[in-house]
A and B are shown apart, each in its own frame.
Chain A
């Protein structure tokens, strides 16, 4: 597609339920990032995929959070046993990354607004 696509755009879930958020990156982009943005706050890094390398999971806040990506395609972020503190906008971004090092900007999706009630 032309840009980074995230779905759903909005998700309301009950506390304790599992949720799965999807990110479809720009075709050909090897790098993919997930961030969390609480209301009025900055972007909190969650996880980073770069090609076939092992992902950087250093930002995942707990073992309830996991993410997968197959090759250079779609990624899913899963939050198990959701809690109210998980309410936030989850942003996905992709960049061409590989071979171009530090100088490639990341393109963001519109985000998924998650509300845990």
Chain B
């Protein structure tokens, strides 16, 4: 079974609108971390936001917020007030394991976001 599933290969959003990128995950570990990365056409991987499995509140970083629904095993990324520069591939990732023995980072297949002027 896929550990990270991103069901939207491509998304379009109008500039200044908000957009939600979906991510569901599969793990039996009680301790895990969820990450979102942005990959522009230039190819670099840029870390955006982190959510821990024990965190009580949804993570926020500027225009990025994470809609964490633990019971549904979903960690959707919300980008508010989209900008043209947000056009990129977005990857959801997970690391499982208790503190001190975390395992490798597993990535989803990505969502290509295009912001329209």
Chain A positions within 8 Å of B43 at CB level: 89, 110-111
Number of interface residues of A (CB under 8 A): 29
* Alpha-carbon gap, A106 to B44, bound state (A): 12
Is A91's beta carbon under 8 Å from chain B?
yes
Q: Do B44 and A42 touch (CB < 8 A)?
A: no
Q: Do B104 and A48 touch (CB < 8 A)?
A: yes
* Alpha-carbon gap, A29 to B32, bound state (A): 20
* Alpha-carbon gap, A59 to B32, bound state (A): 20
A100-B99, A102-B52, A102-B98 known; 12 other A-B pairs, CB under 8 Å? A33-B104, A42-B91, A43-B107, A45-B106, A45-B107, A48-B104, A95-B105, A98-B100, A99-B100, A101-B97, A101-B98, A106-B35
Is B70's beta carbon under 8 Å from chain A?
no
| Contacting residues of chain A (32-50) with chain B, CB-CB under 8 angstroms | 33, 35, 41-43, 45, 48, 50
| Contacting residues of chain A (41-65) with chain B, CB-CB under 8 angstroms | 41-43, 45, 48, 50, 56, 59
Please give me the 8 A-B residue pairs with the lowest Cβ-Cβ distance, nearest first.
A101-B99, A102-B33, A48-B104, A108-B45, A43-B107, A42-B109, A105-B47, A102-B102
Candidate in B33, B91, B96, B98 with the most chain A CB atoms within 10 angstroms = B33
Chain B positions within 8 Å of A104 at CB level: 102
Is A67's beta carbon under 8 Å from chain B?
no
Chain B positions within 8 Å of A89 at CB level: 43
| Contacting residues of chain B (28-67) with chain A, CB-CB under 8 angstroms | 31-33, 35, 37, 43-45, 47, 50, 52-53
Given that A89-B43, A91-B45 are contacting pairs, would A102 and B32 also be in contact in the complex, using a CB cutoff of 8 Å?
yes
